[in-house]
Amino acid sequence: MINDLAKIIEKISHKKLNVKLNSKTPDERCIWADNSKAKKVLRFVPKTNIENGLKLTITQLKNKN
């Protein structure tokens, strides 16, 4: 999952990332999210997928500098 996110960010930013994984830091095997309760209780429906959300975030960060 981390490598997938890095690839998406590289694609959007047109920059190569140097990803270093640390075995002492938890990885995606123990970090997960489930929005099914939000969907059920709040009727939450995401409007933006991860790639578009990252694209918007990167664009905003670039415009701040």
pLDDT in tens, the chain (65 residues): 778 889 999 999 999 999 887 777 666 566 667 888 999 999 999 899 999 999 999 999 989 86
- Per-residue pLDDT at 18: 92
DSSP letters spanning the chain: -HHHHHHHHHHHHT--------TTS--TTS-----HHHHHHH----SS-HHHHHHHHHHHHHHH-
pLDDT at 17: 93
Distance CA(7)–CA(53), nearest Å, equals 14
N residues, the chain: 65
pLDDT at 55: 94
Residue 24 is predicted with a pLDDT of 74
Going by C-beta distance under 8 Å and a sequence separation of 6 or more, which residues neighbour residue 37? Answer: none
Give the model's pLDDT for residue 27.
60
